[in-house]
Amino acid sequence: MLNEIKKDAQARMTKSIEALRHDLTKLRTGRASSALVDHLKVNYYGSEMPLTQVASVVVSDARSLTITPWEKQMVSAVEKAILASDLGLTPNTAGTTIRINIPALTEERRKELAKHVHGEGENAKIAIRNIRRDANQQVKDLLKEKQITEDEERRTEEEIQKLTDKSIKDVDDVIKGKEQELMAV
């Protein structure tokens, strides 16, 4: 029973860290990455489709992406999706190929993005602490129902705290890595 609580807490903490990593891949860092446009939705014959399902996205060099829609009539829909996004990028179209040049970030924008990264990191830490609280509450409930001893409760709470500390350290590492990526000129 206690092992299940610990495993559940660890799995949920790992998911929080992975969600943070996933969210940070969408952040523009001045370097081209296909992850920048992965979340874009394109109007495909009346339904919203992910960009990656209607076109190929290739990183042509460090500062540009090349998007080639599978169908010729999708070029304008892909352009509209890029322009409507919050990325602030302008597509250049040549026939059926769309090129996106990614401008270098200004110092001010880098600092702004670093603050955003810290905010996302704090949200992940809050989620991890909430998971810890839930797990500790489950342990206390077991103690109340006299299914475990006080020693088992104390030991389990210490183990859950170690999991929490490790997860928060992992979040800090993810934030630090993304910050270094942002500040690299």
Could you report the per-residue pLDDT of 51-96, keeping only the tens digit for each? Answer: 888 888 888 877 788 888 888 888 888 888 888 877 777 888 888 8
Q: What are phi and psi of 99, to 5 degrees?
A: -110, 140
Cα 151 from Cα 159, distance rounded (Å):
12
Report the percentage of the chain scoring pLDDT > 90: 30
15 pLDDT more than 90: yes
- pLDDT for the residue numbered 29: 64
Token pair for 84: 């409507």
Mean pLDDT value across residues 90-115: 82
Query: Burial, 124: exposed, middle or buried (Cβ in 10 Å; 0-12, 13-18, 19+)?
Result: buried
CB atoms within 10 A of CB 75: 19
Q: Read off the pTM.
A: 0.69
Phi, psi of 89 (to 5 degrees): -110, 150
Res. 35: pLDDT tops 80: no
pLDDT score at 185: 59
Lowest mean pLDDT among 34-48, 125-139, 147-161: 34-48
Structure tokens at 147: 């299914």
List beta partners, residue 94.
Answer: 97
C-alpha 127/C-alpha 150 separation (Å) is: 27
Specify the DSSP element, H or E, that contains 20.
Answer: helix 2-25
Structure tokens at 146: 């006299």
